[in-house]
Structure 1
Amino acid sequence: MTWSIVARDPATGHLGIAVASRFFAVGAAVPFMRGGIGAIATQAFVSPLYGTDGLTLLAEGHAPDAVIAILTDRDDGCQQRQMHLIDGQGRNAAFTGEKCVEWAGHLVDENVSVAGNMLAGPRVISETLRVYKETASAPFAERLLAAMEAGEAEGGDKRGRQSAALKIYRDQDYPWLDIRADDHPDPLGELRRLYAVAQERFLHVVETMPTRANPHGLTDRRLIDEKIAALETARIAEGRPSPSFATPLKPA
């Protein structure tokens, strides 16, 4: 019912998952991540335990292929399931059960894997991987979105479109970016819009949040307010409309 890309940016160690499906709220079911630990996509006849327990196993030091073996060996339904994952070191692995609905399969490459089931054909995942690898100079989020758009252009989920999600974790247990289109006729296009909205304010605010290395974060909010105001002024001066649906900002 789904295809997804799971990746690690080798330059930063950031982890990301992008996913799309003809299924409601795929972002609530497929992606699981912990900063610095790993990223797991569990799909087809989804087992959330592949995500939750898989992250625990990665945190304990198990390699991705061992995680797959442990999770599938204890699961009588594993042949209806699919999963792929990467750890914080860039080691990755994938599994596609023999009973997954065709077309189903996966591709694993350095620091990235793509997997899907109920797809229009194998080119969905091969094009997703190709575009991801060919956009290495682009920002991580944009690479993931471009890759998924390439897969959609090859037919994507053979049943149609409904939802999509993009998650990126840096080195913390909370996401740097977590956006979803749960029920939309063009979910990947909606993710593009949401990513553009996030760049107006949200991602700048995230940069100020406390981390383990700096539990205070940025304590002077005037600095971030001034930066956001300057970006907004520049946008208006250039005549660029905001992609946001938010109502006009009222004075505090």
Structure 2
Amino acid sequence: MTFSIVGRCDKTGQLGIAISSSSIAVGARCPWVRAGVGAVATQNVTLPALGSQILDQLQQARLDPAAALERALAANEWSEYRQVTVIDAQGRTAFFSGREALGTYHAVAGNQCVAAGNMLAGIHVIEAMIPAFENATGALADRLLAAMHAAMAAGGEAGPVHSAALKIAGEMSWPLVDLRVDWADDDPIGKLDTLWQAYRLQMQDYVTRALNPTAAPSYGVPGDE
């Protein structure tokens, strides 16, 4: 049903998530990032509220990821149906898969990353994601997507994948990257990668527009002068 990876870039401090699912619009419910705080993927029979609750525990209560995850799960019903991964701004990680997680499920922590999934073709799908992330080069988005491609090459989900999302926090309070393929009949991860390749060329321009409109570049569209 879902597989994902949360990760941190040790060079930039960026935090991010790449995720895919057989369900529609996975990016609307499952990935959560907060600049300078952490990233959370809440999946399986997901409770979206866990994302912000865990990030609050990391930021306000200054808990480590394991303690923040435990406290959030304890405060909510039906925890055994949840699968959650967490990384904080220091690269520390935690994960949880409840007994009621669907199908074949698995989670693995690596160097400043955690991968997890359910309804998998096999546990090797998740195990393929960690070295793909750790050995990839480039921006955090490139490394997260490399892990997703590795998962698909290893068999992906037991059924078809239909949606995918990429969300990354940089230095600003809003996401630096927030890209989604809400539904595709085939290869949503490939379509997400294509979106990223187009967006990366303009990404910094949108930061500039926000911080200093007088320095904003023009793209030649009506009204954009």
TM-score with structure 1 setting the length = 0.83
Match of 2:214? 219
Q: What is the distance in 1 between the residues matched to 2:207 and 2:50?
A: 31
* CA positional deviation for 1:102: 2.3
Q: What is the distance in 1 between the residues matched to 2:51 and 2:167?
A: 14
Q: How does 1:98-113 map to 2 (within 5 A)?
A: 98-113=99-114
Give the fraction of aligned pairs with identical amino acids, expressed as a percent: 35
SS across alignment from 2:200? helix
Higher relative contact order (CA 8 A, sep 6+): 2
Aligned length: 222
* CA positional deviation for 1:206: 2.3
User: CA 1:220 to 1:76, structure 2 compared with 1: closer, same or farther past 3 Å?
Assistant: closer
Q: What is the distance in 2 between the residues matched to 1:84 and 1:98?
A: 15
Q: How does 1:228-247 map to 2 (within 5 A)?
A: none
**Would you say the 8 A contact 2:18–2:166 is kept in 1?**
yes
Match of 2:67? 66
Moved over 2 A (4+): 216-221, 249-252
Task: Kindly indicate whether residue 82 of structure 2 is the aligned counterpart of residue 81 of structure 1.
Answer: yes
TM-score with structure 2 setting the length = 0.92
* CA positional deviation for 1:220: 2.6
Q: What is the distance in 2 between the residues matched to 1:25 and 1:88?
A: 27
Q: What is the distance in 2 between the residues matched to 1:76 and 1:251?
A: 50
**Would you say the 8 A contact 1:81–1:96 is kept in 2?**
yes
* CA positional deviation for 1:148: 0.1
- Deviation track 1:189-228 (CA, whole Å, cap 9, x = no partner) reads 111111122134x313223144xxxxx435233xx34xx7
* CA positional deviation for 1:157: 1.7
- Deviation track 1:1-41 (CA, whole Å, cap 9, x = no partner) reads 20100001111110010001101000111101110011000
Q: How does 1:1-252 map to 2 (within 5 A)?
A: 1-60=1-60, 61-135=62-136, 137-184=137-184, 185-200=186-201, 202-210=202-210, 216-217=211-212, 219-221=214-216, 224-225=217-218
* CA positional deviation for 1:45: 0.8
**Would you say the 8 A contact 1:166–1:177 is kept in 2?**
yes
SS across alignment from 1:98? coil
- Deviation track 1:117-139 (CA, whole Å, cap 9, x = no partner) reads 1111111111111111111x322
* CA positional deviation for 1:250: 5.8
**Would you say the 8 A contact 1:34–1:172 is kept in 2?**
no
User: CA 1:69 to 1:218, structure 2 compared with 1: closer, same or farther past 3 Å?
Assistant: same
Unaligned runs of 5+ in 2: none
- Deviation track 1:46-70 (CA, whole Å, cap 9, x = no partner) reads 0112101111111111111001111
Aligned-residue CA RMSD in angstroms? 1.7
Q: Which amino acid in the other structure matches residue 220 of structure 1?
A: A
Unaligned runs of 5+ in 1: 211-215, 230-248
